[in-house]
Structure 1
Amino acid sequence: MSQSTPVAKTGHMGGGTVFAAVLLLVTGVLAIFQGIAAIAKDDVYARVGDYVFKFDLTAWGWIHLIVGIVVVLAGVGLFAGSELARGAAIGLASLSVILNFVWLPYQPWWSVIIIAIDVFIIWSLCTRWEGTTD
C-alpha cells in the first residue's frame, strides 16, 4: 500500500506560474518603456566599450518595444490559463535572454538582472506543467 502526498490545487495555476506571469508583465512593461526611451531619444543610452554586436539604437528601441508588447500579452495569457501562452512565454523568455545578452553594452547591470529574471521565468514555467483536465 503506497501513500501519496496530496497536491494542493490552486485553481488552474500554481504559485510559480502566477509569479512567472507577474514577472512577465513587469519585464514586458519595462521593455516597452525601454524601447520608447531608445526610440524617442538616441542619446539616452551610451555604449560601454566596444562590442561585436552593433545595432542602431533606434532599431534596438523598436525590438524592445515589440518584444515587450508580446511578452505582456503572453503574461496576460498565462493569467487566463492558456497552455499556448505558457509555451509562448517560455520561448519569449528565452528570446529575451538572447536580446538582453546582446543589449549588454548599453545597460550591463540591467541586462544581467533581466537575464536572471528570464531564467527564473523559464524554470518556473517548466517545472510544473500540468494540464487542466482531470
Structure 2
Amino acid sequence: MVTFAGVLVFILALFNGLNGIAAINRSHVFIDGAHIVVGDLRAWGWTLLVLGILLALIGAGIVAGSQLARWAGVAVLSLNAFSHMWVVASYPLWSVLIILLDILAIYALCVHWDRHEYGEATL
C-alpha cells in the first residue's frame, strides 16, 4: 500500500506539473474565461507547478520509506485537494478526479504504514 501511495503521489505530481506548465503558457487546453476563485490562469499554473514539484519530492521520500515524507505527503495532498476546489466550477470532472486521487493517496498513507515501517509480513 505504501508503494501504491508513492506511485500515486508521483502520478499526481505529473498531472500538476503538466497542468501548471500549460496554464503558465496559457495553453488552449484551458477554456477562455475560466472562473478561478483566486488569481488568474498564470497564478493557478504557478501554484500547480509548485505543488507538482513538492509532490514529486515527497513521492521519492515515500518510496524510500521516510516518515517525514509521509506526513508532508498528507499535508501537501490536502493542500492539493483544496487548491483544486478553486476551479471546480470551470473544470468539474478534472477537479473532482484529482480530489478523489488525493483522498485515495491520503488514505493509503494513513492506513497501512506500520506494516511497511516495521517489516512485518502481511497476511
In the comparison of the two structures, how many residue pairs are matched? 118
Tell me the SS of whatever aligns to 1:55: coil
Q: Which runs of 5+ in 2 are unaligned?
A: none
Question: Could you say if the C-alpha distance between residues 50 and 22 of structure 1 is closer, same or farther in structure 2, counting changes exceeding 3 Å?
Answer: closer
Contact 2:35 2:87 in 1 (8 A): no
Provide the aligned C-alpha RMSD in A. 2.1
TM-score by length of 1: 0.79
Give the whole-Å Cα distance in 1 for the aligned partners of 2:52 and 2:89. 19
TM-score by length of 2: 0.85
> Which amino acid in the other structure matches residue 125 of structure 1?
L
Checking the alignment, whether the CA contact within 8 Å between 1:48 and 1:105 is kept in structure 2 is no
Task: Give every structure 1 segment of 4 or more consecutive aligned residues whose post-TM-superposition deviation is greater than 6 Å.
Answer: none
Report which of the two structures shows the higher radius of gyration computed on alpha carbons: 1
Instruction: Tell me the percent identity.
Output: 36
Of the structure 1 ranges 22-31 and 102-111, higher mean CA displacement relative to structure 2 is found in: 102-111
Aligned ranges for residues 19-98 of structure 1 at < 5 Å? 19-41=4-26, 44-46=29-31, 53-98=37-82
1:125 aligned residue (93, 103, 109): 109
User: How far, CA to CA, are the matches of 1:90 and 1:108 in structure 2?
Assistant: 23
C-alpha deviation, 1:61, in angstroms: 0.4
Equivalent residue letter for 1:19 = F
For 2:59, give the aligned amino acid: G
Q: Distance in 2 between matches of 1:49 and 1:80?
A: 39
